[in-house]
Amino acid sequence: MLSAAAMLAAMIIAAPAAAATVLVIGDSLSDAYNMPREAGWAHLLSERLGEDRRVINASISGETTAGGLSRLAGLLADFEPDVLLIILGGNDGLRALAPRQIEQNLAALIEKGKGSGARVGLMQIRMPPNLGPAYVSRFEAIYPRLAEAHGVTLLPFFLDDLFDQPGMMMQDGIHPTIEAQPLMLERLWPALEPLLVE
């Protein structure tokens, strides 16, 4: 008969391992643009997860996929995350960077994350229609294709359904307000939660 200590140890081994460290690499949508960082969705995620887990928000306003890629190796070495959330591509798209280059950069980000042992979530990014339907279609198709090819979680774009709601977007029409931040987290949470306890 197993002792109580042995049974407890077996239960711990069998239970899903909760992510101790979550690394977010993104742009102004995750950098709490024009507001205190404590008001941003990433900080709200940290509060939700509690003191036993860390959320490292390595997002920088204006960041591109190339910029994120240049920083990622150092971030992985410094923080050894269990989960990596990649929320990049918006600035590339707004600059009309070639979709092929964006896809290559995102693929490299995913591969580096997986190579470090982290579970990876890739957020679908949307583009405004004024960039033209052909470009928008090519750009937005990158994300589900990469998620399937690399076997990573495709996270929903956390601003879907918020663009047209009063008070959710700043006057520039691009950045979410303080009021939008909790709603962004709620939209993300159903897809994110399983990634945190795999």
Catalytic residue list contains 43: no
For residue 83, the cross-strand partners are 22, 119
Catalytic residue list contains 175: yes
Q: Per the residue annotation, which of 28, 30, 59, 116 is the catalytic one? A: 28
Catalytic residue list contains 164: no
Q: Per the residue annotation, which of 3, 52, 164, 172 is the catalytic one? A: 172
Q: Which of 119, 54, 49, 56 is nearest to 84 (CA)?
A: 119
Instruction: Report the distance separating Cα 66 and Cα 29, nearest Å.
Output: 17
Q: Per the residue annotation, which of 46, 82, 116, 175 is the catalytic one? A: 175
Burial of 154 (0-12, 13-18, 19+ CB in 10 A): middle
Instruction: Report the distance separating Cα 2 and Cα 9, nearest Å.
Output: 10
> Helix, strand, or coil here: 80?
coil
Instruction: Report the distance separating Cα 133 and Cα 186, nearest Å.
Output: 29
Catalytic residue positions, numbered: 28, 172, 175
